[in-house]
Amino acid sequence: MRYVKELNNKALDKPFLYSYRRCPYAMRARMAMLSAHFEFDIYEISLRDKPKEMLKISPKGTVPVLIIGNNIIDESLDIMIWAYNISDRSNHYISLSKSEKNNAKELINLNDNDFKLHLDKYKYSSNQNEFNQDKLYENCLFFINRIESNLCENKFLVSNKISIADVAIFPFIRQFANVNLDRFVKGEFKKTISWFEIMKKQDLFSKAMEKPSIKSK
């Protein structure tokens, strides 16, 4: 993963990713691409000044956006699956059984749709009174409890090894935990807390969160 200042013809010699370091969708795309062990260039966007080149190829204006030759992928989960299909040396996807893939798909869908809606409300609850904050927190627990249940059966979310489900969902649980870390670590969902700590210590996560050494134009 190499940060570049701008998109140019030379950059397109390898996969090129528009990203934003703290975005959970971009985070999981970077993690999947890193776990596939191939080289790619990355451009850290500014949310206040999104690159015209990116908006031209993906008008919705969200990251991640991946350019591979003449092909564009602008959905994070599609980028993950593309990366794993190219090279799944970390065994996050291809080696999963059919039932494990189905379980992963169901869990990711639940994360990306239902949980994300409640998470966003909880994240921005600082201007709410304590009662409303507690309610917004509790609204998120249906998904945390689902994760806890899965972790009672496996070491990770759908199997006993890290999979696409863990990589796809971890960035969102990280956001949930960081809203009020003290409350999170005191929660009754002990297996989820342990899983979170394991994921947080992965080299894959550390590499995906490296800060750009250069500033994009």
pLDDT tens, residue by residue, 90-119? 899 999 999 999 999 999 999 999 999 999
Indicate whether 67 and 124 sit together in one domain.
no
Residue 215 located in a structural domain: no
Instruction: Please give the C-alpha separations between residue 61 and each of 5, 23, 125, 153, in angstroms, as whole numbers.
Output: 19, 13, 25, 39
Residue 46 located in a structural domain: yes
Indicate whether 107 and 29 sit together in one domain.
no
Residue 211 located in a structural domain: no
**Contact at 8 Å (CB) between 164 and 96?**
yes
Q: How many domains are there within the chain?
A: 2
Where does a domain end: 91, 107, 130?
91
Looking up tokens 């291809």 gives 94
Q: What is the pLDDT of residues 49-80, one digit of tens each?
A: 999 999 999 999 999 999 999 999 999 999 99
Indicate whether 108 and 199 sit together in one domain.
yes
Indicate whether 111 and 182 sit together in one domain.
yes
**Nearest by Cα to 208 from 24, 54, 63:** 24
Q: Identify the pLDDT of residue 9.
A: 61
Where does a domain end: 91, 110, 131?
91
Residue 208 located in a structural domain: no
Indicate whether 58 and 117 sit together in one domain.
no
Indicate whether 104 and 168 sit together in one domain.
yes
Q: Is the dihedral of CA 82, 88, 93, 97 positive or negative?
A: positive
Where does a domain end: 91, 118, 143?
91
Indicate whether 171 and 193 sit together in one domain.
yes
Residue 214 located in a structural domain: no
Indicate whether 114 and 77 sit together in one domain.
no
- Regions of the chain short of the pLDDT cut 50: none
pTM exceeds 0.85 = yes
Q: Is the dihedral of CA 100, 24, 195, 39 positive or negative?
A: positive
Q: In which domain, by residue range, is 191 found?
A: 98-203
